[in-house]
């Protein structure tokens, strides 16, 4: 019986052993109640692909949708040239860690080969449903693979964005995507803009790893696995699937475990086909959800929302208090600071609510956002954290310190918006999805890039130039871009909320000791005003070199831990 409720999808990570030693994190989505079932995606997609299907199946099953290593939020597999059996072993380890070895599996395209390889090598799932399985007459040549898997290579100017968006569009029209002849046109209706936007998000999330499983699949013929598999295996495809003709190659006569089912193009009938088949193989109750791995990254749940966080550590010595770094509207500056600070102390970087992998909160007020971020400290750490708030997010940092001083040991502010800040539409412009030219990619990229070299980001005036020695690494920029793409319509909502409370009263209510950066960066232009307003503040000189700045901040926090007296208010600015 299917429930009428719309199941809430949550996300998590599970730690699995790596073939290269150590461990890797596998990301998954989960929803619903009932017997457990597993969904696997194609390349270069992620479990995001299955969100609509999960909402249907979740009324009947406990649904787990996993990100293949290197895709979505899962760590790359870590091998130079991974094969389908390598991905199959990684899948088996993830299913073990999640308690899902006995759950039926639905897999499509690339993941169909992965799941079949696992089943043929000792997999214990009761049923395998393969939707679109490539059985080539001959494997793709190295030249074909090199052309199809052209490297995804971010570079600082953003010129790669046009090439990648053209590839995204062409992958949905021709196979292979680089051969635009009429006979290679894919016989399917064009996807909706929503589906195409999700596809682009997944491609950019995989980034340089998008070809890992894709290439492995092109190099793998599943016929031997089809002949040897003992798990009951249904191979199906819709008539609009490019792999539909491959159904004729399934060796059902040679292996009684195999069967073939041909489907029409109706998506409701297709979803029902998946549900009914999975029901025949599912009987075990869903396992308890495993505890999230809390050493590298994870989620903390708040009602119907989750906040995503990452933790960084390095060769720091001694028992240093963790530092939570807040930046917005993206994590770009937070990541750069985290890399520099991790050699001194542990660092936590959350995605602000509404950005990246953090859901918007039901209550979008600055107070609710500040309370959730402060509560994140309480969930992750046994003691209060130092908090560093950078630029536009400074009012949220101040609100955290004012409302939850027991969780914020000290507050450091590096840059802050003016008290007469420009409107949200200027600082945080709405960005429309552009299915034709991908202009949304360029808008976000140049907002991010420009913000590292000028303040505010939209000003090219000479006095807006920031003393940044170099543009940020293109891969770091790419990560921030991907976060904005994931929440295109809400990427700046937390910053907008903070701007509504950015006034003298807020800063005068901050209780913990506060350190305010001063220097020649135009982002710090509000420093003197903040110092005058804050009850317990100290100015410190901010070097333009990031490593030197991190060392200076660390030394400032250490002195605070040791009880060094702060300067009198009248001496704060003149002392630096």
Dump pLDDT digits (tens) for 289-332.
665 555 789 999 998 899 999 999 877 655 789 999 999 999 99
- With residue 89 as reference, give the H or E element that holds it: helix 84-98
Model confidence at 3, pLDDT cuts 50, 70, 90, reads: very low
According to the model, what pLDDT value does residue 318 have? Answer: 59
How far apart (Å, rounded) are the C-alpha atoms in residues 408 and 378? 10
pLDDT at 568 over 60: no
Assign residue 201 a region: left if phi > 0, alpha if psi is -120 to 50, beta otherwise? alpha
* Lowest mean pLDDT across 59-73, 179-193, 287-301, 525-539: 287-301
Residue pLDDT, tens place only, 518-564: 999 999 999 999 999 999 999 999 998 899 999 999 999 998 887 75
Q: What is the mean pLDDT of residues 442-449?
A: 96
Peptide bond into 44 cis (omega under 30): yes
Buried b (16+ CB within 10 A) or exposed e, 30-42: bbbebbbbbbbbb
Coil vs helix vs strand at 286? coil
How far apart (Å, rounded) are the C-alpha atoms in residues 455 and 512? 28
Between 5 and 476, where is the model more confident? Answer: 476
In this structure, are residues 354 and 487 in contact, taking their beta carbons and an 8 Å threshold?
A: yes
Highest average pLDDT, of 175-184, 252-261, 286-295, comes from 252-261
Model confidence at 574, pLDDT cuts 50, 70, 90, reads: very low
307: nearest Cα among 196, 396, 392, 394: 396
According to the model, what pLDDT value does residue 315 have? Answer: 77
* Lowest mean pLDDT across 17-31, 109-123, 451-465, 474-488: 17-31
Residue pLDDT, tens place only, 133-161: 999 999 999 999 999 999 999 999 999 99
427: nearest Cα among 397, 398, 456: 456
In this structure, are residues 217 and 177 in contact, taking their beta carbons and an 8 Å threshold?
A: no
373: nearest Cα among 328, 341, 326: 326
In this structure, are residues 411 and 377 in contact, taking their beta carbons and an 8 Å threshold?
A: no
In this structure, are residues 402 and 536 in contact, taking their beta carbons and an 8 Å threshold?
A: no
For residue 368 the two structure tokens come to: 């609710």
Residue pLDDT, tens place only, 320-371: 899 999 999 999 999 999 999 999 999 999 999 999 999 999 999 999 999 9
* Lowest mean pLDDT across 29-33, 293-297, 509-513, 566-570: 566-570
Q: Which domains occur in the chain, in start order?
A: 14-152+210-281 (3.40.50.1820), 153-182+431-488 (no CATH), 297-420+490-562 (3.40.50.1820)
Q: What is the mean pLDDT of residues 167-190?
A: 91
How far apart (Å, rounded) are the C-alpha atoms in residues 164 and 97? 35
**Averaged pLDDT score across all residues of the chain:** 92
Residue 399 is classified by DSSP as H
pLDDT at 425 over 90: no
How far apart (Å, rounded) are the C-alpha atoms in residues 332 and 313? 18
Q: What is the mean pLDDT of residues 423-440?
A: 92
According to the model, what pLDDT value does residue 433 have? Answer: 98
* Lowest mean pLDDT across 64-78, 270-284, 307-321, 367-381: 307-321
pLDDT at 54 over 70: yes
């Amino acid at each position: 019986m299917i429930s009428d409720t719309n199941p809430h999808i949550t996300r998590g990570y599970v730690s699995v052993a790596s073939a290269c030693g150590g461990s890797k994190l596998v990301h998954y989505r989960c929803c619903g109640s009932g017997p457990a079932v597993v969904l696997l995606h194609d390349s270069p997609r992620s479990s995001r692909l299955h969100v609509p299907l999960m909402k249907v199946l979740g009324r009947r099953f406990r649904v787990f949708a996993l990100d293949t290593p290197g895709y979505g939020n899962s760590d790359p597999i870590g091998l130079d040239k991974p094969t389908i059996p390598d991905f199959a072993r990684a899948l088996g380890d993830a299913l073990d860690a999640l308690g899902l070895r006995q759950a039926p599996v639905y897999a499509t395209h690339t993941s169909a080969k992965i799941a079949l390889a696992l089943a043929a090598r000792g997999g214990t799932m009761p049923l395998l449903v393969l939707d679109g399985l490539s059985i080539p007459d001959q494997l793709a040549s190295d030249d074909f693979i090199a052309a199809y898997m052209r490297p995804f290579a971010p570079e600082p100017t953003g010129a790669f964005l046009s090439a990648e968006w053209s590839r995204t569009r062409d992958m949905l029209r021709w196979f292979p995507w680089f051969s635009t002849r009429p006979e290679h046109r894919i016989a399917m209706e064009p996807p909706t803009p929503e589906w195409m936007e999700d596809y682009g998000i997944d491609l950019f999330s995989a980034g340089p790893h998008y070809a890992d499983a894709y290439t492995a699949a092109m190099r793998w013929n599943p016929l031997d696995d089809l002949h040897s598999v003992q798990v009951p295996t249904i191979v199906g495809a819709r008539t609009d699937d490019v792999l539909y003709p491959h159904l004729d190659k399934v060796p059902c006569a040679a292996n009684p475990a195999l069967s073939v089912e041909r489907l029409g193009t109706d998506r409701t009938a297709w979803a029902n086909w998946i549900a009914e088949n999975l029901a025949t193989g599912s009987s075990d109750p869903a396992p308890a959800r495993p505890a999230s791995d809390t050493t590298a990254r994870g989620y903390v749940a708040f009602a119907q929302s989750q906040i995503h966080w990452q933790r960084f550590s390095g060769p720091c010595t001694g028992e240093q208090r963790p530092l939570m770094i807040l930046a917005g509207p993206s994590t770009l500056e937070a990541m750069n600071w985290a890399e520099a600070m991790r050699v001194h102390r542990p660092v936590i970087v959350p995605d602000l609510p509404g950005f990246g992998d953090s859901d918007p909160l039901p209550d979008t007020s600055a107070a609710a956002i500040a309370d959730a971020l402060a509560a994140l400290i309480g969930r992750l750490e046994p003691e209060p954290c130092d908090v560093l708030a950078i630029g536009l997010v400074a009012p949220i940092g101040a609100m955290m310190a004012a409302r939850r001083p027991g969780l914020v040991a000290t507050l450091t502010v590096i840059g802050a918006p003016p008290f007469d800040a420009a409107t949200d539409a200027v600082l945080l412009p709405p960005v429309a999805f552009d299915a034709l030219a991908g202009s949304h990619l360029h808008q976000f990229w140049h907002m991010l890039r420009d913000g590292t070299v000028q303040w505010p980001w939209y000003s090219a005036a000479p006095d807006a130039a920031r003393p940044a020695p170099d543009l940020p690494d293109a891969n770091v920029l790419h990560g921030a871009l991907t976060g904005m793409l994931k929440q295109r319509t809400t990427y700046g909502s937390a910053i907008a909320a903070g701007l509504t409370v950015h006034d003298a009263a807020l800063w005068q209510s901050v209780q913990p000791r506060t350190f305010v950066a001063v220097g020649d960066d135009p982002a710090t232009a509000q420093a003197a005003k903040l110092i005058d307003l804050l009850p317990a503040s100290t100015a410190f000189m901010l070097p333009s070199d990031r490593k030197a700045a991190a060392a200076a901040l660390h030394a400032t926090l250490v002195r605070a831990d040791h009880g060094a007296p702060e300067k009198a208010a009248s001496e704060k600015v003149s002392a630096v």
